Structure 1
Amino acid sequence: MKKILFGAIGIVALGLSAPASAADLAARPYTKAPAPMVATIYDWSGFYIGINGGGGSSHKCWDFVAPTTGTLFGEGCHNATGGTVGGQIGYRWQSANWVFGLEGQGNWADFSGDNVSTLIPTQRNRSKIDAFGLITGQVGYAWNNVLFYVKGGGAVVADKFNIYTAPGFAGAGTLLASASDNRWGGTVGAGLEFGFAPNWSVGVEYDHIFLGSRTLTLNAPGGTAFQTDRISQNVDMGLVRVNYRWGGPVIAKY
């Protein structure tokens, strides 16, 4: 009888204690799924404006044109060198890694040089570029915020040409004749640009301008024709550029 009683009591106690043990179990904590990785991809698309500065050299050769026959006689060559500063404005659009653009650029310049004429030793031929402008298209390839591009298009250069009395002769440095010329040509170049902030970039660029040859009549200070020369020239420049672009990086998830 006692065994039966104690057995019943044990079964009741076990039944009462089981729910309490389940209640004492801690709830399983909720773990949030990891957020997807996000990468910032630099976007070169948009309008931009900037400044540039650097140096350049224009190689010029003068040929005297005989008044009656038009025969050319070489007078020698010189390099007109100096500095330049200016600005550019343009628009770029990006497709995958390829970047396409259009740009207009205008610069003040002081590329000057001279040589004593090998044909007429009493004369010194001097040239100077005061300004130039470029209108170009661009094709580039971007590695995120690094852009390499090539460019090409048209160019115009403002030239001044002067003839002075050569050193060592009476009246050395006296202006004998002059002419001004706005010459059109073509240009090609290449650049490397680095985006250091969402809207800012800095880069370096090389440009070559093809200007060919042109025959000019240089006039004496009184306005009478003094001498006719065929003058050929090309320009090489290295520039540092800083641009501000309207737009910003896009966010790509992967």
Structure 2
Amino acid sequence: MKKFLLGTVALVAFAAPAAAADLAARSYTKAPAYVPPAPIYNWTGFYIGGHIGGAFTSDDSIAGGTSSSNSRFLGGLQGGYDWQFAPNWVFGIEAQYSWLTGNTDTVTFNAGDNYTFSDKQKGVGSVTGRLGYTWGPALLYAKGGYAFADYKTSLYNNTANAGVAVSNNQNGYTVGGGLEYLFAPNWSGKIEYQYYDFGKTEFLGESVKNDEHTVKAGVNYRFNWGGPVVAKY
């Protein structure tokens, strides 16, 4: 019995290395490289900012005279709120006001008597909604809504030395669009085109169209963290 046990132990001792040698070597799999998640840019929140640019009005014929097209410098402020949803769409509401410089247009003409028409524009403002699509740090948007004009028109009869009643409208609409870009924490820059229409000023059977084409460049400060937000694991 003792010899049998010793023989069995010896057999197992010699067979174990042989069996281990027959086993296939375990393959080594390299762990995948860590790829950080793509940043998600957050447009939701309040903002304020400023802008500069130019304004351009249309040509109008007035009783044999011509109201020349005016190019003016503008500068102003804007503020609003954006809400990002679905997930690349952005809806916002914005209030904006622009001051105009070099803004008095005067035309002298004859319509039986000698007249001088003056249109003094101080500024334009708007309250608009805007809808845009964002990819990465960029936002392409369209906007439209209510507009108002800060201007005064007058007509003077130089022959009779008396003023003449003028009918005008300081309320209108505006449409436009632009591109905005998040370039730093809490900061975005934009370029924008906006058209304002305030109808016509009418007098003595004549009319002058009151409108503005504007091109602006601006900067906004965003109170939320306007840069990339990276998911944490």
Compute the TM-score of the two structures, normalised by the length of structure 1: 0.66
Q: What amino acid is aligned across from residue 197 of structure 2 in structure 1?
A: F
TM alignment of 1:22-101, pairs within 5 A: 34-59=33-58, 61=60, 76-95=66-85, 96-101=87-92
- Unpaired runs of 5+ residues, structure 2, are 1-29
What is the distance in 2 between the residues matched to 1:54 and 1:159?
Answer: 19
Q: What amino acid is aligned across from residue 102 of structure 1 in structure 2?
A: I
What is the distance in 2 between the residues matched to 1:195 and 1:230?
Answer: 44
SS at match of 1:44: coil
What is the percent sequence identity of the aligned residues? 34
Per-residue CA deviation, residues 145-183 of structure 1 (Å, 9 max, x unaligned), is 0111000000000112245799xxx9xxxx964879660
CA displacement at 1:118 relative to structure 2: 5.7
What is the distance in 1 between the residues matched to 2:200 and 2:169?
Answer: 12
Number of residue pairs matched? Answer: 198
SS at match of 2:42: coil
Larger Rg: 1
CA displacement at 1:36 relative to structure 2: 4.6
Which segment is superposed worse, 73-82 or 91-100? 73-82
Which residue number in structure 2 is paired with residue 146 of structure 1?
138
CA RMSD across the alignment: 3.2
What is the distance in 1 between the residues matched to 2:89 and 2:181?
Answer: 15
TM alignment of 1:99-248, pairs within 5 A: 99-110=90-101, 111-117=103-109, 119=111, 122-163=114-155, 177=163, 183-215=170-202, 230-248=207-225
Q: What amino acid is aligned across from residue 91 of structure 2 in structure 1?
A: F
Contact kept, 8 Å, 1:137 with 1:152, in 2: the verdict is: yes
CA displacement at 1:47 relative to structure 2: 0.4
Distance 1:39 1:118, change over 3 A: farther
- Unpaired runs of 5+ residues, structure 1, are 1-30, 64-72, 217-226
Q: What amino acid is aligned across from residue 148 of structure 1 in structure 2?
A: L
SS at match of 2:43: coil
Distance 1:140 1:121, change over 3 A: farther
Per-residue CA deviation, residues 77-127 of structure 1 (Å, 9 max, x unaligned), is 332331111100100011111111000011211233333326468444332
Distance 1:62 1:212, change over 3 A: farther
What is the distance in 1 between the residues matched to 2:139 and 2:182?
Answer: 8
* Higher strand fraction (1 or 2): 1
Q: What amino acid is aligned across from residue 234 of structure 1 in structure 2?
A: D
Q: What amino acid is aligned across from residue 206 of structure 1 in structure 2?
A: Y
Which segment is superposed worse, 42-51 or 113-122? 113-122
Q: What amino acid is aligned across from residue 190 of structure 1 in structure 2?
A: G
CA displacement at 1:62 relative to structure 2: 6.9
Distance 1:128 1:33, change over 3 A: same
What is the distance in 2 between the residues matched to 1:38 and 1:236?
Answer: 43
Contact kept, 8 Å, 1:80 with 1:112, in 2: the verdict is: no
Contact kept, 8 Å, 1:74 with 1:118, in 2: the verdict is: yes
SS at match of 2:224: coil
Compute the TM-score of the two structures, normalised by the length of structure 2: 0.72
